[in-house]
Amino acid sequence: MRVVIIGAGPGGLMAAEQAATAGHDVAIFDQRRSPGRKLVLAGRGGLNLTHSEPLDSFLDRYGSARPYLEPSIGGFTPDDLRTWSDGLGEPTFVGSSGRVFPASFRAVPLLRAWLRRLDGLGVRFELGQRWSGWSVGTERPALRFVSELDGIEHSVECDACVLALGGSSWPGVGSDGSWVDLLRSRGVTVTSLRAANCGVRVDWSPVMVERFAGAPMKNAAVVVDGLAVRGDPVITSFGLEGGPIYAHSQRIREQIDADGYAEMKIDLFPDLDIGDVVRRLVERRRTKRSISTWLDRCGLSSAGISLLREVTGNQLPTDPDELGELMKGAMVAVHEMAPIDRAISSAGGVRWSEVDAELQLVAIPGTYVVGEMLDWEAPTGGYLLQAVFSTGHRVGSRLAA
């Protein structure tokens, strides 16, 4: 078969490897001039391939999408992904948090080894080619592409097509969501793409932005709906970012959709209960000192003190009980998520009712969908990349069979 894969990210590359291993004629088209750009960007701080927790717990991370992703992840598990990486000469290790990384801790060595393998399998790359839809009136499915170099449009016939175009969270590497309208024009139902694993907007004062944008609040806990997530939320010019904020992004987004806003509490002393905090305040209080000095002596950072001033309109209580409650649960109102182009991933995509068990579009036989184009979301920690690799592997294996 002649297989055309649109998108040179990890999902597309994995589908290509499986199909080419079976001897199919495989070509990968991508609008960017180099493959794997999103994988390289994901690996800037260390390429988190997957997670080492038990598979059943791992699958629970996908929430309502678990039944749909389980066949793919069960067919290419986190252990399989580690074995595959080892086969490319990139052995993996488990970090202290259970996250799995290649030994080099980088994406580039793994990507280079992978591209060498694909080249050996005869996979061709057609780069700088933007997909613009389908040609009409041809006997076989024909895809239209526009050259980013000269703007010339041409058609490519194939026996099967794999769409691996990502969501819309990283437009700079090609995941711009432009495929949504193309699929909707063919009758495919697509849930609108929205930011996931992202920060939130908070209306900080100019002083907060000027003095503390980029500053982390170390060892805090962010609480939404009674669920606390530990970490270092980071103050930004537009609001808050960081691991504990990303972990709550789905809950916050759903609260905003339902009520127009979401309530988020920040516990600045998660290792102490309220009684311990109040006792510390009482013991370290000196009448001649300012409130800021008092809080500083209690171990609160300048960023934390500024947060308390922000949420109280600069009217900090002087009663230790009231101040202790504030330090254990500073209430931040959120009315908007960060823009999708600042998000790590996106929610929404092709609804599961639009694909069969092998991820083939019901409305367009012979066309398959993998990765973030499907309607699912997951937290960071290796769950995002694992699902992308696994769905690509499932479709590639289907074509190989």
Mutual angle of helices 78-87 and 383-400, in 10-degree steps = 80
Residue 308 has pLDDT above 70, yes or no: yes
Pairwise pLDDT comparison (17 vs 149), residue with the higher score: 17
Residue 239 has pLDDT above 90, yes or no: yes
Decide which of 337, 360, 376 is a domain's last residue.
Answer: 337
Can you give the residue range of the structural domain that contains 264? 200-337
Give the model's pLDDT for residue 174: 84
CA distance 37 to 33: 9
Decide which of 292, 315, 337 is a domain's last residue.
Answer: 337
What's the number of domains the chain is made of? 2
Give the model's pLDDT for residue 139: 62
When the pLDDT of each residue in the chain is averaged and rounded to a whole number, the result is 95
Q: Assess whether 266 and 375 both reside in one domain.
A: no
Residue 262 domain flag:
yes
Residue 188 domain flag:
yes
CATH number where 99 lies:
3.50.50.60
Q: Assess whether 149 and 42 both reside in one domain.
A: yes
Residue 6 domain flag:
yes
Q: Assess whether 180 and 102 both reside in one domain.
A: yes
CA distance 327 to 269: 7
Phi, psi of 107 (to 5 degrees): -90, -30
Summarised one tens digit per residue, pLDDT across range 117-147 is 999 999 999 999 999 999 876 566 699 999 9
Give the model's pLDDT for residue 91: 97
Residue 245 domain flag:
yes
Compute the chain's Rg from CA coordinates. Answer: 24
Give the model's pLDDT for residue 167: 94
Summarised one tens digit per residue, pLDDT across range 330-389 is 999 999 999 998 899 999 999 999 999 999 999 999 999 999 999 999 999 999 999 999
Residue 33 domain flag:
yes
**CA 278 centroid distance within chain:** 39
Q: Assess whether 136 and 284 both reside in one domain.
A: no
Q: Assess whether 42 and 174 both reside in one domain.
A: yes
Residue 393 has pLDDT above 90, yes or no: yes
CA distance 126 to 114: 17
Band (392; pLDDT cuts 50, 70, 90): very high
Q: Are residues 199 and 342 in contact, defined by beta-carbon separation less than 8 angstroms?
A: yes
Give the model's pLDDT for residue 382: 96
Q: What percent of the chain is helix, strand and coil (3-state, nearest 5)?
A: 40, 25, 35
CA distance 378 to 60: 9
| Cross-strand bridge partners of residue 231 | 220
Give the model's pLDDT for residue 325: 97
Give the model's pLDDT for residue 38: 87
Summarised one tens digit per residue, pLDDT across range 85-98 is 999 999 999 998 99
Supply 118's token pair: 């694909």
The pTM score is 0.92
Please work out, in degrees rounded to the nearest 5, the angle formed at the alpha carbon of residue 163 by the alpha carbons of 114 and 387.
60
Residue 342 domain flag:
no
One-letter amino acid for residue 214 of the chain: G
CA distance 120 to 178: 32
Q: Assess whether 224 and 297 both reside in one domain.
A: yes
Residue 132 domain flag:
yes
Q: Assess whether 42 and 55 both reside in one domain.
A: yes
Residue 30 domain flag:
yes
Kindly state the average pLDDT of the residues 307-330: 96
Q: Assess whether 74 and 178 both reside in one domain.
A: yes
